[in-house]
Amino acid sequence: MKVVSVVGNRPQFIKAAPLARALAPLCDHVLVHTGQHYDEELSAVFFDELGLQPPDHRIETGSGSHAQQTGSMLVGLEPVLASEQPDVVLVYGDTNSTLAGALVAVKSGYRIGHVESGLRSFDRAMPEEVNRVVTDVISDLRFCPSQVAVDNLAAEGITQGVHLVGDVMVDVAAQFGPLARRRSTILERLSIEPQGYTLITVHRQSNTEAAALGALVEMLESIEGPLVFPLHPRTESALSRRGLLERAERAALVTPPLGYLDFTALLASARVCLTDSGGVQKEAYLQSVPCLTLRDTSEWVETIELGWNRLVAMDPAAVAKALAEIRTPAEHPPLYGDGHAADRIAELVAAPVP
């Protein structure tokens, strides 16, 4: 039995790590890197730190418009999948690499497994929402991290091949969280104290458009420090293009994108986290760190219902008010599974087709 995982972005390398480990004893697992993220800090570091096997195939997609990027992946992936003849193609999350992997697989007649299926923001202006909806429709095996995800699929009439398995990022946190705490020296390197700083990440398309960037910098300037800001290259180039990077660097401890171990250590000891990342919202919950999500919508609605996460506009006054109102909720149930999602997925993938 052969399974091909198509990955291409930072969060996908992270999600594929526990899958690679769980699939290894059950099947031949081939890893295909679409090349969407190519910088060392967004790609190679995760293979090294999380012990992910080197890619068996690499497509040189690189950056570009949605059409250029997705089109280039489609053209690159088709011969790779044809040469591998997989029984199942696994795609992860909601990026252009997810969509491209799923589209090539369905047109080539391979079964598709979607890891992190059923999440919805109900905002189709978000490129990721389109990627998720299309991928879910054409998948055969839909691996849901939560009951909400299962219910979202049911509301769209999708009930076949739906499996509530939990979230693979819980697996990663369980496997690598202790190592991050032992090994990372990021707090010393930044001269900050546990519980003595705020962590912020921003990379969403809507938050890096011209209109949002001024508000982002004003917000950075309005938050009492220390404020640690590992900068995604999309955000760095957007700030730089508009001459705002130096202001951001004066207002915050700006770092390059961090590896998983440093980022996890930083998040674990943060007083509060501000983010527009899907993964970081969820990891903040896992680490019991209050989170403000700089967006109008979230896919991780359970964290909001429990009070650990709150949606806030990218506006200095709104953020200041939300920061002042932060309280640590009493309840912290295990929302996203028990850390064995990858084992369940691997068993389902390797099971004979009914």
Q: Would you tell me which residues interact with ligand UD1 (CB under 6 A)? A: 9-11, 36-39, 42, 63, 69, 94-96, 127-128, 203, 233-234, 237
Q: How far is the CB of 341 from ligand UDP (least distance, A)?
A: 14
Our measurement of the distance from residue 120's CA atom to the centroid of its chain's CA atoms, rounded to an integer in Å, reads 14
Question: Alpha-carbon distance 276 to 181, whole Å?
Answer: 24
User: 114 catalytic, yes or no?
Assistant: no
Closer to ligand UDP by Cβ: residue 80 or 251? 251
For position 118 contacting ligand UDP by CB under 6 A, the verdict is no
C-beta separation of 23 from 3 below 8 A: yes
Q: How far is the CB of 49 from ligand UDP (least distance, A)?
A: 9
Question: Alpha-carbon distance 215 to 259, whole Å?
Answer: 27
Beta bridge partners of 79: none
Q: What are the strands of the beta sheet with 309-311, ordered from one edge?
A: 253-255, 227-230, 198-201, 272-275, 291-293, 309-311
Contacts of 351 (CB under 8 A, 6+ apart): none
Residues in 180-209 at the binding interface with ligand UDP, rule: CB under 6 A: 201, 203
For position 145 contacting ligand UDP by CB under 6 A, the verdict is no
Q: Is 281 exposed, middle or buried (0-12, 13-18, 19+ CB in 10 A)?
A: buried
For position 290 contacting ligand UDP by CB under 6 A, the verdict is no
Closer to ligand UD1 by Cβ: residue 95 or 146? 95
Q: How far is the CB of 76 from ligand UD1 (least distance, A)?
A: 15
For position 258 contacting ligand UDP by CB under 6 A, the verdict is yes
Rg (CA), the chain: 20
C-beta separation of 284 from 293 below 8 A: no
For position 18 contacting ligand UDP by CB under 6 A, the verdict is no
Closer to ligand UDP by Cβ: residue 110 or 260? 260
Among the listed residues 118, 161, 279, 339, the single contact to ligand UDP using CB under 6 A = 279
Q: How far is the CB of 201 from ligand UDP (least distance, A)?
A: 5
- Tokens (6 digits) for 248: 């951001």
**Catalytic residue selected from 29, 114, 203, 232:** 203
Question: Alpha-carbon distance 257 to 143, whole Å?
Answer: 29
C-beta separation of 245 from 268 below 8 A: no
The one segment of 55-63, 68-76, 205-213, 257-265 that binds ligand UDP by CB under 6 A: 257-265
Closer to ligand UDP by Cβ: residue 46 or 110? 46
The one segment of 219-227, 236-244, 273-281, 324-332 that binds ligand UDP by CB under 6 A: 273-281
Cα angle 7-9-14, degrees, rounded to a multiple of 5: 75
3-state SS, residue 274: strand
The one segment of 7-15, 65-73, 284-292, 335-343 that binds ligand UDP by CB under 6 A: 7-15
Q: How far is the CB of 267 from ligand UD1 (least distance, A)?
A: 15
- Tokens (6 digits) for 201: 């990440």
Positions annotated as catalytic residues are 203
The residues of the shown chain that bind ligand UDP, judged by CB under 6 A, are 10-11, 14, 201, 203, 230, 257-260, 263-264, 277-280, 283
